[in-house]
C-alpha cells in the first residue's frame, strides 16, 4: 500500500509542472492528503488502536490493575502493554508466519510446513473472499448493490458440491466441470434479481436478500435428502466431493489450495472486463448514469441482467472454492459468511478489482491471525470481527478519519476514489 503511495507521488509533478515540486515534498503532500491509500492505512491504524482498548477492557485481570492506577501506574500500563503486544504479535504470527518457526526451518530443526502454515491459512481464508468481493464490487460499478453474494455463493457451493460427487469424471476434467457448474449456479441466482430489475424494476437489494434466505434454506433441505446425504450419517452432511474434483492442495497442515491462484487470475479477468471490454464500458456508463447511458444507446435492462449474472457467477465461484477447496462436503453452514464478508471486502477495496484482492488478503490475514490469537493468547475471535467492522466503518466514513488526523482535502477530488485504472 505504501508502494502505491510512492508510485503515485511522482505522477503529480508531471500533471502540474508549474509547481515544480521536489519528489519529497510531493510525497509528503500526498501522504497527508486525504487520498484513498492514506485513509485506508489510517483506518486500519484506528481500528487497531480501538481494538487494543477492547483487548484491555475484556481482560479482567489487567482491568483490576487499573483500580490502583494512581498508586502504581507501572502495573497497569505494563500488563496492558504485555497483553496488547502478545495479542497483536500472535495476530501477525498467525497471519504471516512465526519467526521462530521460520528460523527453525532454516536451521533444519523445524519443518517447512510449520513455517509456511500461517501464510497458507491466510491465503485459504482469502480465496473465497476474493470471489465474493469481486462479485459485489463489479455489481457496484454498474450501479447495483448486490447483497445477494451470500445466496449466490451458497448456490455455487451446492451445484459445485453436487457436481463434485455425482459425475465421477476423470481427474482434472472433474474439477473444471465442478467449478464451471458452481459458477453457473451462482450466475443463475444472480441472473434472477437482475432480470427482475431489468423487466419489472424490482429493487435488487430486496430481491437478493430474499434469495439469500431461499438459497440457505434450500441447502439445509438438500443435504438431508437421500442420494445427497452421506450414507451412515443422520446429521446434515452431504457425501464428500471426489478427490478428483477437489482443488489441489499441499495437504496436511498446509490447507492452501489452487483456489487462490484462480482468484488472482479471475481478478485480472475482472479488471480487463471492467476497463478494457465493451461490456465493462457499458456497465460503467450505466453505473454512472443510467439515463445518460440509455440516451447514448446502451440497453440498460440488458446490462443489468448480464451484470448480475456475471456477479452471481463470481460469487458462485467463491462458494465452489469453499466446498471444493476446504470443506469437501456440503453442510448447512458450508459457505460460512463469505458473501457478507464479500460486501466488506469490496467496500474496503473501493470496488476496484485489485483493491478487492488486497482487501480479501487483509481479511484472510486477520482471520488466520485471529485463530492463533484465540488459541495462544485466549482472546476471543470476535475481536477480529470487530477489527474488520471498524476498518470498514472508518473507510466508509472518510470524513471522520480526515477530521481525526486533520488531513487536507486531496487536490484532484475523487482522484483516488475512482481512478480509471483498476
Partner 1 sequence: MEKESVLRPVRGKRIVAILAAGGLTLAAAACGDAPADTPSGSSSSAATTAAYKACMVTDTGGIDDKSFNASAWAGLQAAKAEVSGIDPKYVSSSSEADYEPGLRSFVTQKCNFILAVGGLMGDVTKKVSDEAKDSQFGIVDSGSTGANVYPMQFATHQAAFLAGYLAAGYSKSGTVGTYGGMKIAPVTIFMDGFADGVAYYNTKKGKTVKVVGWDKAKQNGTFADSFIDQNKGKTITNTLVSQGADVVLPVAGGTGLGTAQVAKDSAGKVSVIWVDQDGCKSAAQYCDVFLSTVVKNVEEAVKEAAVNGAKGTALAATPGYLGTLENDGVGLAPYNQFDSKVDAGLKTEIDQLKKDIIAGTVKVESANAPK
Q: Note whether 119 binds partner 1 by CB under 8 A.
A: no
Residue with cell 475523487: 414
Q: Note whether 32 binds partner 1 by CB under 8 A.
A: no
Q: Which is nearer to partner 1, 46 or 310 (CB)?
A: 46
CA distances from 230 to 12, 242, 335 (A): 61, 13, 18
Stretch that binds partner 1, among 208-216, 258-266, 302-310, 368-376 (CB under 8 A): 368-376
Q: Which of 23, 25, 226, 266 has the alpha carbon at shortest distance from 126?
A: 266
Q: Which is nearer to partner 1, 122 or 356 (CB)?
A: 122
Least distance to partner 1, CB of residue 409, Å: 10
Q: Segment 380-419, which members bind partner 1 (CB under 8 A)?
A: 380-381, 406
Q: Which is nearer to partner 1, 311 or 368 (CB)?
A: 368
Q: Which of 387, 410, 383 has the alpha carbon at shortest distance from 398?
A: 410
Percentages (nearest 5) of helix, strand, coil residues in the chain: 75, 5, 25
Q: Note whether 332 binds partner 1 by CB under 8 A.
A: yes
- Residue selected from 3, 24, 61, 71 as contacting partner 1 according to rule CB under 8 A: 71
Q: Note whether 236 binds partner 1 by CB under 8 A.
A: yes
- Residue selected from 331, 351, 356, 388 as contacting partner 1 according to rule CB under 8 A: 331
Q: Segment 246-305, which members bind partner 1 (CB under 8 A)?
A: 252-253, 255
Stretch that binds partner 1, among 20-28, 159-167, 231-239, 280-288 (CB under 8 A): 231-239
Grid coordinates of 245? 474434483
Q: Which is nearer to partner 1, 33 or 195 (CB)?
A: 33
* ∠ CA 180-147-371, rounded to 5°: 80
Stretch that binds partner 1, among 50-58, 68-76, 309-317, 345-353 (CB under 8 A): 68-76
Q: Note whether 172 binds partner 1 by CB under 8 A.
A: no
Rounded to whole angstroms, how far apart are CA atoms 330 and 233? 13
DSSP per-residue codes, 54-71: HHHHT-HHHHHHGGGTTT
Q: Note whether 75 binds partner 1 by CB under 8 A.
A: yes
**235: exposed, middle or buried (Cβ count in 10 Å: 0-12, 13-18, 19+):** exposed
Q: Note whether 54 binds partner 1 by CB under 8 A.
A: no
Give phi and psi for 250, each to the nearest 5: -70, -20
Grid coordinates of 99? 519467526
Rounded to whole angstroms, how far apart are CA atoms 299 and 277? 16
* Angle formed by the axes of helices 173-200 and 204-222, nearest 10°: 140
Binding-site residue total for partner 1 (CB under 8 A)? 35
Q: Which is nearer to partner 1, 22 or 234 (CB)?
A: 234
The site for partner 1 (CB under 8 A) is made up of: 66-72, 75, 114, 117, 121, 220, 224, 234-236, 252-253, 255, 326-327, 331-333, 336, 368, 371-372, 374-376, 378, 380-381, 406
Amino acid at each position: 500500500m505504501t508502494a502505491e503511495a510512492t508510485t503515485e507521488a511522482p505522477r503529480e509533478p508531471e500533471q502540474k509542472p508549474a509547481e515544480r515540486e521536489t519528489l519529497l515534498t510531493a510525497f509528503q503532500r500526498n501522504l497527508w492528503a486525504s487520498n484513498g491509500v492514506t485513509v485506508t492505512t489510517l483506518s486500519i491504524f484506528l481500528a487497531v488502536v480501538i481494538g487494543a482498548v477492547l483487548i484491555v477492557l475484556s481482560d479482567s485481570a489487567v482491568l483490576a490493575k487499573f483500580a490502583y492506577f494512581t498508586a502504581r501506574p507501572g502495573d497497569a500500563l505494563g500488563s496492558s502493554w504485555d497483553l496488547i503486544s502478545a495479542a497483536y504479535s500472535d495476530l501477525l504470527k498467525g497471519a504471516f508466519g512465526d519467526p521462530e518457526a521460520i528460523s527453525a526451518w532454516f536451521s533444519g530443526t523445524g519443518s517447512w510446513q510449520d513455517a509456511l502454515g500461517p501464510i497458507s491459512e491466510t491465503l485459504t481464508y482469502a480465496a473465497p473472499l476474493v470471489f465474493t468481493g469481486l462479485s459485489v464490487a463489479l455489481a457496484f460499478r454498474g450501479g447495483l448493490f448486490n447483497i445477494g453474494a451470500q445466496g449466490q455463493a451458497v448456490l455455487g457451493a451446492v451445484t459445485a458440491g453436487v457436481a463434485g460427487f455425482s459425475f465421477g469424471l476423470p481427474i482434472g476434467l472433474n474439477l473444471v466441470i465442478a467449478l464451471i457448474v458452481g459458477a453457473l449456479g451462482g450466475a443463475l441466482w444472480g441472473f434472477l434479481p437482475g432480470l427482475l430489475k431489468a423487466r419489472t424494476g424490482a429493487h435488487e437489494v430486496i430481491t437478493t436478500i430474499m434469495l439469500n434466505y431461499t438459497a440457505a434454506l434450500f441447502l439445509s433441505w438438500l443435504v438431508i435428502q437421500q442420494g445427497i446425504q452421506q450414507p451412515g450419517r443422520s446429521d446434515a452432511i452431504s457425501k464428500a466431493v471426489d478427490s478428483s474434483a477437489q482443488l489441489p492442495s499441499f495437504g496436511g497442515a498446509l490447507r492452501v489450495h489452487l483456489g487462490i491462484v484462480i482468484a488472482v487470475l479471475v481478478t485480472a479477468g475482472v479488471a480487463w472486463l471492467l476497463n478494457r471490454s465493451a461490456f465493462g464500458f457499458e456497465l460503467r456508463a450505466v453505473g454512472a448514469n443510467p439515463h445518460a447511458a440509455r440516451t447514448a444507446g446502451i440497453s440498460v435492462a440488458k446490462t443489468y441482467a448480464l451484470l448480475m449474472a456475471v456477479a452471481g457467477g463470481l460469487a458462485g465461484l467463491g462458494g465452489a472454492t469453499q466446498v471444493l477447496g476446504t470443506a469437501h462436503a456440503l453442510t448447512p453452514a458450508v459457505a460460512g459468511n463469505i458473501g457478507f464478508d464479500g460486501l466488506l471486502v469490496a467496500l474496503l477495496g473501493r470496488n476496484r478489482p485489485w483493491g478487492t484482492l488486497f482487501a480479501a488478503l487483509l481479511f484472510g490475514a486477520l482471520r488466520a491471525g485471529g485463530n492463533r490469537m484465540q488459541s495462544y493468547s485466549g482472546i476471543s475471535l470476535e475481536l477480529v470481527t470487530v477489527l474488520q467492522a471498524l476498518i470498514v466503518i472508518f473507510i466508509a466514513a472518510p470524513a471522520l478519519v480526515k477530521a481525526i488526523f486533520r488531513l487536507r482535502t486531496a487536490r484532484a477530488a475523487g482522484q483516488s476514489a475512482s481512478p480509471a485504472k483498476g
